[in-house]
Amino acid sequence: MRDQTLALVKRYYAAFNAGDMEAFLALLTEDVAHDINQGRREVGREAFAMFMQHMNRCYREQLVDMVVMASDDGARAAAEFTVLGEYLVTDEGLPPARGQTYRLPAGAFFDIRDGKVARVTNYYNLQDWIAQVARG
């Protein structure tokens, strides 16, 4: 089960990096819980799809230096990576976008159910991101 979960999380991030939202969203349970960094929890694949539409409009990101870990039973996983991004369109409540680039350490935690992602919780340092785009 551990190897299957590792492969699932790697497919999840490969689809993200490829911008293949259809494949990305197909890896989620219908009732996926998405814990947004320093924000609220959204539930459901449709809510996640709307979140990703917003993110893809405001940001262009690639995730590199990926390390993925999973529990022996495959029920939980974690990933650590670096976000290489470009701030494209001003996001509400954040500094104005002018095409600034950023490099940000980040991580995520997963619950896995029936071979799909049932929860993803993302973490990064928002103040670090704000400082980077303010300098840019």
10 Å CB burial of residue 82 (0-12, 13-18, 19+) is middle
- Residue-wise pLDDT tens for the chain (136 aa)? 999 999 999 999 999 999 999 999 999 999 999 999 988 999 999 999 999 999 999 999 999 999 999 999 999 999 999 999 999 999 999 999 999 999 999 999 999 999 999 999 999 999 999 999 998 7
pLDDT recorded at residue 76: 98
Give the separation between CA 117 and CA 105, rounded to whole angstroms. Answer: 22
User: How many domains is the chain partitioned into structurally?
Assistant: 1
Cβ(58)–Cβ(97) below 8 Å: yes
pTM: 0.94
Per DSSP, the three-state class of 6 is: helix
In the chain, beta strands by DSSP E: 28-35, 41-43, 59-70, 76-87, 101-113, 116-124
CATH code at position 121:
3.10.450.50
Task: List the domain range (segments joined by +) for residue 33.
Answer: 2-135
State the pLDDT at residue 135.
Answer: 86
Closest to 102 (Cα-Cα) out of 66, 76, 136: 136
